[in-house]
C-alpha cells in the first residue's frame, strides 16, 4: 500500500480575487503553507529550511541521511517533533517547529548553518563531482532495468497521490518505487529537495535503506543536489517529469545512476545509465 502524500494540515484558505475575462469575483482560495522547520541534534540547531508542514520527522531524517554518514536506523537514538504553537504557549515567542534528534557517537554530525544552501558558486563542476560522497552500496544489482512504460506508469501513479497539489496547484512531489515496481511512498512539499528528503527519510525510518534497486520519481527538474541525495541513498535511478541540469547529468553518469527526464506526453529522455533502460 502506498504511504499517503501530504497530510491535510498544510493548507490555509486565503482571500483572493479571481478574474475571468471581464468578470471578477472575490472568494477564498486554498493556499499551501510555507513555514520554517529547524533540525537539531542534541539541542543544537544544524539547519533551518522552509517547508510544507507534514511528515517533518521524515524530512529531518532524510536530510540527515543525505548530509552525514548516517547508515542505519539504530543510529538514531531519539527523534521528536516540537511544535512552534506549543512553545509559544510556554512563552517562547521566536519558536519554530523543530525536529530534535540524538544520534550514535559514530555519526559525524555536520557543523550548524543558518540555512540550506542550494548552489555551488565559485566551484567548478569537476570539483563538485569529485567532492560528492560515493554511494555506500551498489545502486543496481545485476540485471536491474526499467522500461519507458514503467516510468510513465510511476509518474501517473505518483500524480494520483498528489492530493495537496490537486487542491492548491503549488506543491512538488517525490516518490520511491520498490524493486518490484510498486509505489512505496509519496510525499509533497513546497520545496523539491524537501519532498526528496521526506521519501528518503520515510524509507530510512522503515529500515528500508540503503535503497539499491529502488527508483526515485520526482515531479520537477533534477538538479545536482537531487542526484547527490539519490546517490547517498544508493537509489538505482531517477525518473523526472521535467529535465535535468548539466551538472546533474555529469554526476549521474560518473556514478552509473539512471537519469530519465521529461517523462510525459508518451515520451522521455534518457540522460544517464542507458544500459539499464530497456528501450
Q: Which residues are catalytic?
A: 121
Residue 193: name the closest of 95, 74, 81, 49 by CA: 49
Query: How many whole angstroms separate alpha carbon 194 and alpha carbon 173?
Result: 9
Query: How many whole angstroms separate alpha carbon 167 and alpha carbon 1?
Result: 22
130-154: b (≥16 Cβ within 10 Å) or e: eebeebeeebbeeebebebebbbeb
At 174, list the grid cell.
Answer: 517525490
Neighbours of 59 (CB within 10 A): 30
Starting at the edge strand found earlier in the chain, the sheet holding 267-272 runs 183-189, 172-177, 215-218, 237-240, 258-264, 267-272
Amino acid at each position: 500500500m502506498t504511504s499517503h502524500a501530504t497530510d491535510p494540515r498544510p493548507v490555509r484558505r486565503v482571500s483572493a480575487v479571481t478574474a475571468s475575462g471581464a468578470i471578477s469575483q472575490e472568494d477564498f482560495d486554498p493556499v499551501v503553507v510555507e513555514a520554517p522547520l529547524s533540525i537539531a541534534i542534541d539541542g543544537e540547531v544544524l539547519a533551518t529550511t522552509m517547508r510544507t508542514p507534514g511528515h517533518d520527522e521524515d524530512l529531518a531524517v532524510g536530510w540527515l541521511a543525505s548530509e552525514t554518514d548516517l547508515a542505519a536506523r539504530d543510529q538514531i537514538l531519539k527523534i521528536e517533533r516540537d511544535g512552534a504553537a506549543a512553545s509559544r504557549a510556554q512563552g517562547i515567542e521566536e519558536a519554530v517547529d523543530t525536529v530534535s534528534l540524538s544520534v550514535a557517537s559514530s555519526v559525524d554530525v555536520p557543523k550548524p548553518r543558518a540555512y540550506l544552501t542550494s548552489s555551488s558558486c565559485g566551484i567548478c563542476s569537476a570539483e563538485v563531482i569529485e567532492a560528492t560522497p560515493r554511494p555506500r552500496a551498489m545502486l543496481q544489482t545485476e540485471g536491474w532495468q526499467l522500461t519507458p512504460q514503467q516510468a510513465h506508469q510511476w509518474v501517473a501513479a505518483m500524480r494520483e497521490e498528489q492530493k495537496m497539489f490537486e487542491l492548491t496547484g503549488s506543491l512538488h512531489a517525490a516518490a520511491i518505487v520498490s524493486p518490484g515496481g510498486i509505489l512505496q511512498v509519496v510525499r509533497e512539499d513546497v520545496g523539491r529537495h524537501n519532498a526528496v528528503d521526506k521519501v528518503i527519510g520515510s524509507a530510512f525510518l522503515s529500515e528500508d535503506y540503503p535503497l539499491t534497486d529502488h527508483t526515485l520519481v520526482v515531479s520537477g527538474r533534477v538538479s545536482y543536489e537531487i542526484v547527490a541525495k539519490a546517490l547517498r541513498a544508493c537509489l538505482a535511478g531517477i525518473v523526472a517529469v521535467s529535465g535535468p541540469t548539466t551538472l546533474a547529468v555529469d554526476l549521474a553518469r560518473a556514478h552509473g545512476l539512471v537519469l530519465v527526464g521529461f517523462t510525459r506526453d508518451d515520451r522521455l529522455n534518457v540522460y544517464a545509465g542507458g544500459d539499464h533502460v530497456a528501450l
